[in-house]
Amino acid sequence: MHSTDTAIVWLRRDLRLADQPALHAAAQRHARVLPLYLHAPEEESPWLPGAASRWWLHHSLSALAESLAALGSPLLIRRGPSTEALRQLARETGAGAVYWTRLYEPTGIARDRMVKEALRADGLLAESFNAALLFEPWELKTGGGEPYRVFSPFWRNAEARLDHLPAPLPAPARLSPPERSVAGLSIAELNLLPRIPWDEGFYPHWTPGEAGARQRLEQFAASAIGRYKEQRDQPAVPATSGLSPHLHFGELSPRSALLAAREAARTASPGWLASAEHFVRELGWREFSHHLLFHYPATDRLPMYDKFAAFPWRQPDDYASDLAAWQQGRTGIPIVDAGMRQLWQSGWVHNRVRMIVASLLTKNLLIPWQEGAQWFWDTLVDASLPQNSLGWQWSAGCGADAAPYFRIFNPVLQGEKFDPEGSYTRRWLPELARLPAKYLHRPWEAPSEIRRAAGLGLDSVYARPIVDLARSRDRALAAYEQIKAG
């Protein structure tokens, strides 16, 4: 027998209390609320969560459980399959409603549709809400009623609507659990943490959970946002927000991030306005990635433009050793290796450096973008399928709003431009710490006496990079001309 006084809130990647519309609706409409996390990653995406994402999820769930307990309603943990688990829990508790917030990846959409139909067939109220995006992917269309493929007109349409967004919802002050107690799993039983402690480097960098997200947002809005536009491309400067994993796991809503940025711009110096709007535009790129994957659901694994299916990538037997060198930060190109070491040790890499390492992999090394996407997926704490897919297709030149095929970053010049003093590179490549700035981004050009003084022998990977940048650039351009010509 179902009761209208009890509701289940099915939590996924919306692990917060504030601006959480499913939780808000349950608390407003029902006397008793049961927050539930169902672990069923295989139902949400063919890309199962990587090791770094699982690490974050463990700690985010732990933080959420503490917050919910303080409100009076413990977090229940169970495993899927989701449809049967929800139906069973409704029977156990007598719940009459199930609320959740929407996911937009193709597999998750299909699963949620089946769940909603099954619950309604059982006589339950089943309702979903938008909590992850500023706008639903189907709300923004071209003048012809089609999905967008280019960011600029997409963002013009979205930006014109920002002032009409509703204000973020408050967190509930109190939650009462169902009268019937039910058993669940501990978070540890999900086995999300690594058995070998390779994650030690993550802890100094990150505080998963809603409180950590709020603290990072407040720090960014109070200072770094004022220099975001001018310094966001400098990896040695803490000018970026670091909010991407918090947004991905739903510990922070994009509406809250938007509001904080604009409030900071209004109350600070006039020069902050343009910088804050530049940050808001980056929220727009996040929206655009979800828009694309929703409307073009194969783009997580296939190029958006069909002609690129015939691109002459190297074969796995030929590129295996180069791929391993790239993954391990042993390419012999300092800014690239610094980025890949940062990724491995901290679970994150600076956005400018992401573009540099992706350009080297797809263009200089002619290794398929899907290999890079898979590595990022496993190693990034902010691994988001829409953003990962958009970013890699952009770098490879085969997706929506992609970088022109002839744009091939020279990683040496990029390093000299964006890390001129070498602070970032030296931090992640301590073996180059004693090399003068003049040679830091091109150590193979350093005279032998300077190399010896810096501790770099002839057998060092920095004596000879794994790829000739000039020749490989010509090879890439020839490959792209082949595709351009059909």
Please name which of 252, 171, 248, 242 lies closest in space to residue 214, comparing C-alpha atoms.
Answer: 252
252: left (phi over 0), alpha (psi -120 to 50) or beta: beta
Half-sphere exposure in the Cβ direction for 206 (13 Å, CA) = 30
Find out whether 175 and 22 touch, Cβ atoms under 8 Å.
Answer: no
**Token pair in block for residue 158:** 């979205």
Q: Other CB atoms closer than 10 Å to residue 139's CB: what's the count?
A: 13
Find out whether 133 and 289 touch, Cβ atoms under 8 Å.
Answer: no
**Token pair in block for residue 296:** 């073009």
| CA torsion angle 270 272 275 278 (round to 10) | -80
* 424 labelled ligand-binding: no
* 241 labelled ligand-binding: yes
Residue 225 neighbours by CB under 8 Å, 6+ apart: 241, 261, 264, 265, 272, 275, 276, 279
Find out whether 376 and 356 touch, Cβ atoms under 8 Å.
Answer: no
Residue 270 neighbours by CB under 8 Å, 6+ apart: none
**Token pair in block for residue 423:** 């602070």
Please name which of 328, 35, 387, 345 lies closest in space to residue 206, comparing C-alpha atoms.
Answer: 345
Find out whether 245 and 56 touch, Cβ atoms under 8 Å.
Answer: yes
Residue with tokens 């783009």: 299
* 240 labelled ligand-binding: yes
35: left (phi over 0), alpha (psi -120 to 50) or beta: beta
**Token pair in block for residue 231:** 């310094």
Binding residues: 228, 240-244, 279
Binding residues for FAD: 228, 240-244, 279
